[in-house]
Structure 1
Amino acid sequence: MLLRLDQRDTRPLHEQVASAIRRAITDGECRPGDRLPSARDLSLALDVNVNTVLRGLRSLRDEGLLEFRRGRGVTVADGADQRSGLLDQVQALVAEAARLGYSRTDLIEMIRGIS
């Protein structure tokens, strides 16, 4: 699992850690039943404190994306890969934009204009 944090992101680090893992699950890099690296290994890879990683992991557990089990460590929960409908929503948005006569480039420019 290759996780990276965006140095320009101003959110708290534990939220960034949770987002990086959430994205890995959504992208299929981590599948239900997969065991995550230890919090210590993740903290070394991301160059953040282990307590920051643990806080991010706990928030994902509270969302139902991860399971903590003694002797097994932290694993991706069953159905976690289906909890994010973002890709479905993006595909629907692209289809609706096309139906209305907007290109993908037009759609990207609209999104850029929101921020």
Structure 2
Amino acid sequence: MAQPFNPSVPIYQQLCERIKNKIIRGELKIGERLPSVRDLAIESEVNPNTVQRAYRELEESGIVEKKRGQGTFVTQEPDILQHMREQQKINHIRFFVTEMCEMGFSEAEMLDGLRDYLEKKEDNV
């Protein structure tokens, strides 16, 4: 069964995020071939055109490269992947901070909460 999609965000964007996260986690390595459009469409239970759009977005940003007759591959440019990793980190931090501010937490409360969480997380590992 495919991982569910958020109905308020376009599916192709969610596929892009999932692929980026796989690269960041090391599930997809530099130069590794991505699943074919058809295979990912079946796996994700989406239309192949949606996967094609996600691959096109990733290609335009330089994260993946299309090789004619061979498929789509993670770029071999470490600088592009490092930039993507930093951008993903900033996006997640921005989301976290925005949500916390909307709930009325101060910067100090957020930092204290993060420190407490990370300390407890280390104890439970």
Same fold, judged at TM 0.5 (above): yes
- Partner of residue 10, structure 1: 8
- Partner of residue 114, structure 2: 104
8 Å contact from structure 2 (residues 63, 75) kept in 1: yes
For residues 68-83 of structure 1, the aligned pairs below 5 Å read 68-78=66-76, 79=78, 80-83=80-83
The one-letter amino acid of 1:102's match is D
Cα deviation for residue 22 of structure 1 reads: 1.0
For residues 53-92 of structure 1, the aligned pairs below 5 Å read 53-78=51-76, 79=78, 80-83=80-83, 84-85=85-86, 86=89
State the SS of the aligned residue for 2:69: coil
8 Å contact from structure 1 (residues 28, 81) kept in 2: no
Structure with more of its chain in helix, by fraction:
2
Aligned residues: CA RMSD:
3.0
Shift >4 Å, 4+ stretches: none
- Partner of residue 121, structure 2: none
State the SS of the aligned residue for 1:67: strand
How far apart, CA to CA, are the structure 2 residues paired with 1:59 and 1:101?
Answer: 35
- Tell me which of the two structures has the higher relative contact order, counting C-alpha pairs closer than 8 angstroms and 6 or more residues apart: 1
State the SS of the aligned residue for 1:68: strand
State the SS of the aligned residue for 1:23: helix
8 Å contact from structure 1 (residues 5, 16) kept in 2: no
Note the residue ranges of structure 2 that are not aligned, 5 or more in a row.
94-106, 118-125
Larger Rg: 2
8 Å contact from structure 2 (residues 5, 11) kept in 1: no
The one-letter amino acid of 2:69's match is G
TM-score (norm 2): 0.65
State the SS of the aligned residue for 2:112: coil
Aligned residues: 97
Q: Give the percent of matched residue pairs that are identical in Structure 1 and Structure 2.
A: 32
State the SS of the aligned residue for 2:72: strand
Cα deviation for residue 73 of structure 1 reads: 0.7
Cα deviation for residue 56 of structure 1 reads: 0.4
How far apart, CA to CA, are the structure 1 residues paired with 2:53 and 2:38?
Answer: 12
How far apart, CA to CA, are the structure 1 residues paired with 2:39 and 2:26?
Answer: 20
- Partner of residue 112, structure 1: none
